[in-house]
Each structure stands twice: as C-alpha cells, then as structure tokens.
Amino acid sequence: MQVNLRNKGSITILDIAGQVIGTDALALKRIIDEQVQVADNHTEHGEDLNLILNLERVQMMDSSGLGVLVAAHTSVRRNNGQVVLLNLGGNVRSLIVMAKLMTIFDCYDSEAEAIAGIMKS
Amino acid sequence: MQVNLRNKGSITILDIAGQVIGTDALALKRIIDEQVQVADNHTEHGEDLNLILNLERVQMMDSSGLGVLVAAHTSVRRNNGQVVLLNLGGNVRSLIVMAKLMTIFDCYDSEAEAIAGIMKS
Amino acid sequence: MGERSEQVITLSLPSSMQHVYLLDVVVSEILKEMDFGEDIQEQINLAVIEAGTNAIKHGNKEDLGKKATFQFILAEDRLTIVIEDEGEGFARQTVADPLDPENLLKSSGRGLFLMEACMDSVTYEAKGTIIKMVKYKETPDP
Amino acid sequence: MGERSEQVITLSLPSSMQHVYLLDVVVSEILKEMDFGEDIQEQINLAVIEAGTNAIKHGNKEDLGKKATFQFILAEDRLTIVIEDEGEGFARQTVADPLDPENLLKSSGRGLFLMEACMDSVTYEAKGTIIKMVKYKETPDP
Ligand SMILES: Nc1ncnc2c1ncn2[C@@H]1O[C@H](COP(=O)(O)OP(=O)(O)O)[C@@H](O)[C@H]1O
Ligand SMILES: Nc1ncnc2c1ncn2[C@@H]1O[C@H](COP(=O)(O)OP(=O)(O)O)[C@@H](O)[C@H]1O
C-alpha cells in the first residue's frame, strides 16, 4: 500500500494505492488517526477536519480496510468534519455495498465534485 | 511467456518476453523446432535458417530455458544457419556466462548489429 | 465427477500478519491456473484473506509457534479451501450480524459475513478451528 | 543466533510442472519479506526452480499422486530451503559435469550445477530425495 497526502484548502486528500489488507490496513488507520490528532490540536482555533479518501488505485480491500473507513468516519465526525470517498473501483464499491455502508459515506467520481460536496455540507 | 515472430529478409526474429522456465521452456522449444522444420522443407531450394532470439524482455530463465537455446544452436547449425542472441539482460547474461556458453553464442546489443553479424558470416 | 483429477496444494504459515501477502499471491496464482472469471477471483481472494486473517489473529493470536494451514483442493468444477488454526475455536452463531443497524458503525466484525457472501458454501468444523469453503466454477446444480 | 526467530513456511505441490509458477511466486514473496538484495533474490529463485523442477520431473516423474514439498526456514541471517520428493533419489557424484567441453552442447544437465552455483551450500540427504540449500544474507563468518 502507498498513501500520498495532499491538501486542498482545508481539505486533506489521501491518495491510496495497492492492497488495503492486513498490516497495511493498520498502517492506514495510523495515518488517518494522525490527521485526526492534528485536527484535534487545532480545533480550539476552529478548524474542522475533512478527508477525501481517493481509492482509485486500491486493488484490494478486506474487512479490516473497511473497518478503517468506518473508524475514520466516526472519529472525523467527532471533529465536526466528514470523510468522503472518491473513485471507488468495482471491487471496493461492491464491498461497501455488500456491507451496507453506502448510506454512511458520500461517494464521488471526481475530486471537484468531492470538494464541492464537502463545501456544501 | 510470450513469443512474437518476425521476419527481416531471410532472418527470423523471436521477441521473447516473461519467464522461460518449466512448461514455457518446452513451448519455446516447440516454436523453434517448427521454424527448423519449415527451413528443412525449404533447404532443397537453398534457404538457410538464421534466428535472432531477442531476450530483452525475458525476466527469468532456468536450465531448461538454457537447454532450449543450446538445442536451437545445434539444430540450426545443421541447417547451415546460426542462432544469435540479442539484448541479454543481467540475469540471462550471467546464466550464460556461468554455464560457459558465451563461446557458443554471438551476442548483440542492437538488432542492426545482430543482422549485420549474421550477414557477415 | 472430477474426483480423479483433484489436486491438493498445501501452504502452512507461522501466525504473523506479515504473511497474509504470501497467502494472497498463492491464491491469486492458483486462481490464474484454474478458469475462474475475474470477479470470482476477487471474491475468492477476499474470502481466503478474511479466513487467513481470522486464523492468524483470533485463532492463533499471532503466536509464531502456531501454524495456519491452507489446503487448496483443485477440482474440475470447483475449488475447495480448508483453513485450519491451532486456536480454541469459536461458535459462529454467537457472532453479531454486521448488517444490523446497531453494528454498522463498528470497525470490525465483517470478516465472516464477507467470507460467506463471497463463497458458495462455508462450513465450520472442529469447534471453528477448521473452516471449509467451496466455490463452484458455475452455479451448482439445484 | 537467530534460532529463536526462525519461521517455517511450508508449501506442498502435486507433481505437475504447471505448479512451478506457483513455486516461483511463493519464493519471490518470501524473498521480498526478507532483506536479500535483488541479484541474490534472482539466484535463490533460480535455485529453487531448478530443485523444484527436478523433484517434480526426475524424482516424482510427474506423478500427480506424489508431492513435492518445500520448506522455507526464515532466520535473521539466512534462508534455508528444504526440498523433498517421493522418488527413488540419485547419487550426485554420478551426474556429469555440464562445464566439461564434451557436455557443453547437451541441452540438459545444468540444473544441479546452477543450484550449487547460486546457493551458499547445497546438501543431498535421504539418497537425494531431500535437498537442503542455504543462502546467507552476507558471507558467512569463516
Ligand atoms: N479462527 C477463529 N478462531 C477463533 N475465533 C474466531 C475465528 N474466526 C472468527 N472468530 C471470532 O469471530 C469474530 C468475528 O470475526 P470476523 O467476522 O472475521 O470479524 P473481525 O475479525 O473483524 O472481528 C471474531 O472477533 C472472533 O471472536
Ligand atoms: N530429485 C531428483 N530425483 C532423482 N534424480 C534426480 C533428481 N535431481 C536430479 N536428478 C538426476 O540428476 C540429473 C541432472 O539433473 P540436472 O543437473 O538438474 O539436469 P537435468 O534436469 O537437465 O537433467 C537428472 O537428469 C537426474 O537423473
């Protein structure tokens, strides 16, 4: 798994590639937790945390990867922010559909739409 | 393994890619034997068989792959032709060096040189 | 049918999550050898990763002295995968349903559900220390 | 040293040459997990393919009922690979030297030579039905 972090204004974008299974799911959780930590420290100054997870290049995800998405959703919500998903491939999409998680995540097919989606809410 | 056959004048070029091990070595042997067969049928009309084996995209070769090269050398020689090797990668080169087969094969780093080499002899 | 041409490939791993990737490449290569469609390959891969992760984590509790063993039984019409761990087992029926709305926001508990969703049959034997999963090449006859 | 952190991965295959590719991906993944350099990885890969091919072809004579078994013993300073077949074995010293000029044009007979050239040590046990190969991470202490 490779994760690339970028910022667009107040939004943090994670471009995730490869397999999100096993120890890599754990590693992704740690990266997201760090972002939450940073936002926590800034919240006093009124900053929200909004995350776009770009899953375009994720080849495989298992239930622990899915668990990381859900955990991210929960902890980011606590910071008044949201996690949205970008570019779901067939595999990841059917995983999320199977687990009935489509209602929890807003999903977008372009970065501009994802950013607009976050701004609106 | 993938093999692509091309002709440049009277010379047949085999572009070989992938792994030349196990059953694929056998498959390569069959392809080369077929070329020899075709040349055999034409020899009455004075045609020689000359083969360039382009190994640029060979990722791995084992002793059975090496055996195919040697067998090709022997049967093509019988047809008054020669087998030359093109674009040896580090792996294949060290395999051939280890097996002391450098004296048997002429090796080239460009197709033009390989063709010129065959024409001269 | 196909019994005579059954081939068994066995892989046994020390119980470390680092070896899950090895499991993944083995399954992928076996599926390439067989004639499963691409979507089906991904489903089987996922089910084996889930079962392997459970055997290593929940069964053997990542004790490197304990092994997770995978048997791949290749038949003409189906692939059977038997996963065995050296743990204490568990009772399938005591595991909560991850689709229950009150469980949707839990970050774990979806592995068995996904295994069962991806395979044609999943059975639990020897108190849950042996899991047998089957995927048919086409829908099995009724 | 490193004895305590030894991990054993076992793969057992029906004796068909089609499974040599599975062997290759397993070795490649194990070598990725360990810290061998790229050149060394290729040498080990080659040695295992040669030994596996011999076990399947010469040892088990491609009898699908017979297994070729590969044990990968991962230690901190070395990888040991034990290959076992269910054949009748052979005597290493009776195999002709492929570097002998009179053998150079033979199309076979280079497998054992390459195995021995690529690994730090190769030993033949149980009449040649078990081959044990070792590669150290760095040159072993004298
Ligand atoms: N091989 C196993 N050995 C012991 N317990 C297991 C095993 N597999 C699953 N379990 C139990 O079933 C529960 C649900 O497993 P699963 O659905 O895979 O979700 P998760 O692994 O995220 O907890 C686990 O938390 C564990 O208690
Ligand atoms: N596992 C084995 N069981 C029985 N005989 C073997 C085994 N490995 C090698 N041999 C014998 O040693 C010979 C040389 O093997 P090798 O150097 O690998 O060359 P090749 O496989 O091309 O013949 C084989 O032809 C075979 O007779």
Bigger pLDDT: C5 or D57?
D57
Q: Are D59 and D65 in contact (CB under 8 A)?
A: no
Mean pLDDT value of segment B57-68:
97
In sign, the C-alpha dihedral spanning D23, B97, D33, D72 is positive
User: Token digits for B52?
Assistant: 């360039």
**Residue D21: per-residue pLDDT:** 95
Q: Average pLDDT in the A63-91 region? A: 94
Mean pLDDT in residue range C121-135: 98
Residue A46 predicted with pLDDT over 60:
no
Contacts of B99 in chain D (CB under 8 A): 98-99, 110, 113-114
Residue C38 pLDDT > 60: yes
Q: What is the pLDDT of residue C1?
A: 41
Which whole number is the average pLDDT over B58-79?
Answer: 95
Read out DSSP for D31-94?
Answer: HHHTT--HHHHHHHHHHHHHHHHHIIIIISTT-TTSEEEEEEEE-SSEEEEEEE-SS----GGG
Average pLDDT score over chain C: 94
Dig out the tokens for C104 from the structure. 């949707």
Run of H or E residues at B75: helix B63-78
Average pLDDT on B42-58 reads 83
Q: What is the mean pLDDT of residues C126-133?
A: 98
| Candidates C12, C14, C26; nearest CB to D22 | C26
Asked if D77 contacts D2 with a C-beta cutoff of 8 angstroms, the reply is yes
For B103, counting Cβ atoms within 10 Å of its Cβ (0-12 exposed, 13-18 middle, 19+ buried), the class is exposed
**Chain D residues touching C12 at Cβ < 8 A:** 8-11
Whether the per-residue pLDDT at B121 is higher than 50: the answer is: yes
Look up tokens 């760090």; give the residue.
Answer: A34
pLDDT of residue B44: 64
- Answer yes or no: is the C-beta of D117 below 6 A from any ligand 2 atom: no
Q: Given CA atoms D129, D135, D140, D142 in this order, what sign does their dihedral have? A: positive
Residue D1 is predicted with a pLDDT of 41
What's CA C93's distance to the chain center, in Å?
Answer: 18
pLDDT at A111 over 90: yes
pLDDT of amino acid A45: 59
What is the model's pLDDT at position B27? 97
User: DSSP per residue over B12-41, as a string?
Assistant: EEEEEEEEE-HHHHHHHHHHHHHHHHHHHH
3-state secondary structure of B53: strand
Q: What does the mean pLDDT of chain D come to?
A: 94
The answer to whether A100 contacts C99, with C-beta atoms less than 8 Å apart, is: yes
> What digits encode the pLDDT tens for the residues D5-27?
899 999 999 999 999 999 999 99
Residues of C in contact with D18 (CB under 8 A): 33
Averaged confidence pLDDT in chain B: 93
State mean pLDDT over C132-139. 90
- Local confidence band at A47 (pLDDT 50, 70, 90 cut-offs): low
Task: Report the separation in Å between the CA atom of C68 and the middle of ligand 1, taken as the mean of its atom positions.
Answer: 14
Task: Answer whether B touches A (≥3 Cβ pairs < 8 Å).
Answer: no
CA dist list (Å): B17 to B20, B54, D19, D102, D106: 8, 9, 20, 31, 24
Q: Are A86 and A52 in contact (CB under 8 A)?
A: yes
Query: What is the percent of chain D with per-residue pLDDT over 90, rounded to a whole number?
Result: 90
Query: What's the confidence (pLDDT) of residue C139?
Result: 61
Contact C9 D9 (CB under 8 A): no
- Which residues, 6+ apart, have CB-to-CB distance to D66 below 8 Å? D14, D15, D59, D60, D85, D86, D87
Q: What is the ipTM of this complex?
A: 0.92
Contact assessment for residue C114 and residue C100, using Cβ atoms and an 8 Å cutoff: no
Nearest to B29 by CA among B60, B93, B74, B90: B74
Q: How confident is the model at residue D2 (pLDDT cuts 50, 70, 90)?
A: very low
Residues 6+ apart with CB under 8 A from A45: none
First-to-last alpha carbon distance for chain B, in angstroms, is 31
- D13, D50, D54: which to mutate for ligand 2, most atoms within 8 A of CB? D54
Taking residues A18-30, report their average pLDDT: 96
Closest CA to C70 of C85, C59, C58: C85
Q: How far is CA B94 from the centre of its chain?
A: 17
Chains sharing 3 or more CB pairs under 8 A with chain A: C
Q: Does residue C82 carry a pLDDT above 60?
A: yes
CB contact (8 A) between residue A63 and residue C111? yes
In the predicted model, what is the mean pLDDT of residues C80-89?
A: 98
Residue B95's pLDDT band, with cuts at 50, 70 and 90, is very high
Mean pLDDT of B103-119: 95
Q: Give residue A39's pLDDT.
A: 82
Pairwise CA distance, residues D14 & D67, whole Å: 5
The encoded tokens of residue C44 equal 């089987």
Would you place residue D86 in the very low, low, confident or very high pLDDT band (cuts 50, 70, 90)? very high
Neighbours of D121 (CB within 10 A): 13
Model pLDDT, residue C116: 97
Q: Quick one: pLDDT band at residue B41, thresholds 50, 70, 90?
A: confident
Check pLDDT > 50 for residue C2: no
Statement: residue B115 has pLDDT above 80: yes
Checking if the pLDDT of C119 tops 80, the result is: yes
Element spanning B112, H or E = helix B111-120
Q: Can you tell me whether residue C125 is helix, strand or coil?
A: strand
Name the pairing type of β-strands C7-14 and B106-108. unpaired
Q: Is the dihedral of CA C30, C31, C33, C34 positive or negative?
A: positive
